Structure 1
Amino acid sequence: MAVAALVYVDAVCEVTDDAESAQWARPSTVVWMSETVLSRTSVDERLAWRTAAAKGSKQVTEVQDSWDIPFHPKYKDNTRETLRDETFRSWRQHNAIRKRPGIPNNSSRPRWSLLADFADLFDPDMTDEDFSEAADQWRNKNMTPGAKLRALRALDTESAKHAVIVHLPDGTTRTLEAGVSSLIIKGVVEEWSHQRLGQPVLLAISEPGDKVHLGDKKTLQALGIKIDPKELLPDVLMADTNPDPVQFWIIEAVSSDGPVTNERKKALLQWAAQQNIKADDCSFLSAFQSRNAAPAKKRLKDLATGTWAWFADEPGHELAWYQIIPGSDE
């Protein structure tokens, strides 16, 4: 809505445009916009609404009444602070929007305008191919590697309508069902394991419906590990064969719930013992889509002692939860 509203009132400019000649908008321009207003596309209608929005909600109401459009904004007035302090600030960091200089922060004067190359990405006449090329060029020009990674993660999440292909450490692939959980598993196997483990080996991936994908079958047989879909299984079982003894990583992909809590850790250790895997050789990871994702906000507080957490949109970081003084919470 922010993009649509600013384009509607012509608040689009080049970075080199003179501030006096450019058109600017306020956050309230976005808050007061509606899809019904956006359908009134004549130059005169857009100019009338823009002029009213620059003055106040009373004037906007009058214009919309003349169009027989009730003034029922989709967003509340107090959401403009979030738009200004979070969305616009982030866009400005990525050169998507320009802030008019010389305007005090407490002023109600309009001060925001989309930068033209960002606004051009929303041209409805572009073909899919043209859009993909333009979006890639814009990201490469304006976004840091970390920001690009987050953007690509978001795109992966949106496009997770088809099977998710996971590339295993041994060069083979496994195809998982579409969904956030599969995307998290993909990140764990393809990125986390290569950064965290000296010599990663995928042993098993389990999915809902008693569906299990075995990785290195020879290693499983050599270790005497039997994977039974009817048993309690972790989402991912990996091994790091670099240390001696081999370290086993028991991993849960938390797309909605199910991190490694104390109870879950105890149950998984019992399962590991049945496979002749010693508790001291086990490490535990709860993998989330993002620190901002609802499951992380809800369940990070429940992580078991002596476990780690990883986030797919920040693959170079890891959180650890452990006792500073062993036995202090016994």
Structure 2
Amino acid sequence: MSTLPALLSWEDVQVRLREIFPDGIVSDRHRLVSDVATSTIFMALYINAVEGTGIWLAPKHVYRMSDVQAALISDDERSGYAVSVMKPGGRAPGTQWYQDTTRESIRDDTLREAFVVVGAVTELATVPTTSGKGRYALQPAFAALFDPKIVANDLDAAIAAWRTKHLTKGALARIAIVKAGAGGGGDHVALTFPNGETRRMKKGPSSEITKSVIEVFAPRFMVDPAVLFVSESGNKVVARDDALAKSIGLQIKADKDLPDIVLADLAPEHPLIVFVEVVATDGPINERRKAALESVASGAGFPLEHVAFVTAYLDRGRPAFKKTVGTLAWGSFAWFAGEPEHLVRLEANGSLQR
């Protein structure tokens, strides 16, 4: 009779990791769903390194593993490997998964900086960090998510319950925001402007980011926000407040120089104009774009010290940000709908002094 829990395949472990940690959960989600992450969790399950069992995982269990050993799944074969590989010269039959030099990467990048941080793995504090001994174990409720018998709706419910208990409110919010930005659910998204008016845009990632900019970014970072201009892709104007724009000296023309959104903070004596580019795939405020928008502001008589430039993204863990971050203009800002309370400033001629 088996005493070790039933084991999913390596491939199925990766599928479940991606279900547990979907897009947007953390900025470095790849650490939780990568091949190395999958190998690490598979190995913890293989040797039953779960909190309360007295069995602790070491990086060596992971990098010394092989496909040949992974196919040996009897209790004796699994338990035997857990012990034998920790002995001097201990190795699995066949080609090991990773080089011995990956020890620190598995320990730091995958375990300590990823799974321990989100509460999926427990770290034994009595074992020195640099020791080769096992010091990691799966949190029991997390390990239960890899039970082969739990599938479909039962699995979804178990994952949701684990997230609610162990993930922060911020992480859960990021999941919801990124899922919303991925599309689905109706043909249009409704925008509610600061003055209470509403507009409709075609459903899609760009529209979801636009909605977040208007409904979340503007009231969070501006005292008396107003929307002067909003467009969809293809320069189609969704809303334009010409009267308000002209009252503060800004001439709005729906041409190639205007960004996706123009906001104004009417509270200061000299209103602050904020040009926002929405990036679902490409099109950030780079140096060329910033120069063009500066010309628009200057042409309207606005001193550049009263003008700000923001590139808005869904989440900093997604490809759109990684693809464009290297081209963002100095002196501009980046904002992420998945982390609405934060604002990244690319300071030109900056200083470490506060």
| TM-score (normalizing by structure 2) | 0.67
Listed one character per residue, the Cα deviations across residues 164-209 of structure 1 (whole Å, up to 9, x for unaligned) are: 9464333636445644x5554444333222201223334444454x
Q: Which residue number corresponds to residue 99 of structure 1?
A: 123
Which of 68, 78, 87 is 1:46 aligned to? 78
| 1:298 lines up with 2:326 in the alignment | yes
Instruction: Report the 3-state secondary structure (helix = DSSP H, G, I; strand = E; otherwise coil) of the residue aligned with 1:59.
Output: coil
Quick check: 1:119 aligned with 2:143?
yes
Structure 1 letter corresponding to 2:49: A
Question: Closer, same or farther in 2 for the Cα pair 1:35/1:257, shift >3 Å?
Answer: farther
Deviations 1:250-281 (A, max 9, x none): 0123556544344322211334567x473555
Query: Do the aligned residues in 2 keep the contact of 1:97 with 1:115 (CA within 8 Å)?
Result: yes
Select between 307-316 and 193-202 the one with higher mean Cα deviation.
307-316
Where in structure 1 are there 5+ consecutive unaligned residues? 65-70, 326-330
Aligned with 1:193 (options 194, 204, 218)? 218
Alignment of 1:282-297 (within 5 A): 282-288=307-313, 289-290=315-316, 294-295=322-323
Q: Does the CA-based 8 Å contact 1:197-1:240 persist in structure 2?
A: yes
Counterparts in 2 of 1:258 and 1:102: CA distance versus 1, 3 Å: same
Unaligned regions of 5+ residues in structure 2, if any? Answer: 1-37
Please list the CA deviations of residues 215-252 of structure 1 after superposition, one character each: whole Å capped at 9, or x if unmatched.
3x4x2355365553x52331322233444554331012
Contact 1:174 1:213 in 2 (8 A): no
Give the Å deviation of 1:160: 1.7
Greater relative contact order structure (CA < 8 Å, 6+ sep): 2
Aligned to 2:62: 30
Q: In the superposition, relative to structure 1, how do residues 166 and 57 fare at CA in structure 2: closer, same or farther (>3 Å)?
A: farther
Residue 54 of structure 1 aligns to which amino acid in structure 2?
M
Alpha-carbon distance in 1 for matches of 2:123, 2:243: 63
Seq. identity, %: 27
| Match status 1:83 vs 2:115 | no
Match of 1:5 in 2: 43
What is the RMSD computed on CA atoms of the aligned residues?
Answer: 3.8
2:198 is aligned, of 172, 177, 194, to 172
Q: Distance in 1 between matches of 2:143 and 2:68?
A: 21
Within 5 Å, give how 1:300-319 maps onto structure 2.
Answer: 302-303=329-330, 305=331, 307-319=332-344
What corresponds to 1:68 in structure 2? Answer: none
One-letter amino acid of the counterpart of residue 47, structure 2? V
Greater shift, 1-10 or 76-85, is seen at 76-85
Query: What is the number of equivalent residue pairs in this alignment?
Result: 299
Cα distance 1:324–1:95, how it changes in 2: closer, same or farther (>3 A)? closer
Q: Once structures 1 and 2 are overlaid, which stretch shifts more, 316-325 or 76-85?
A: 316-325
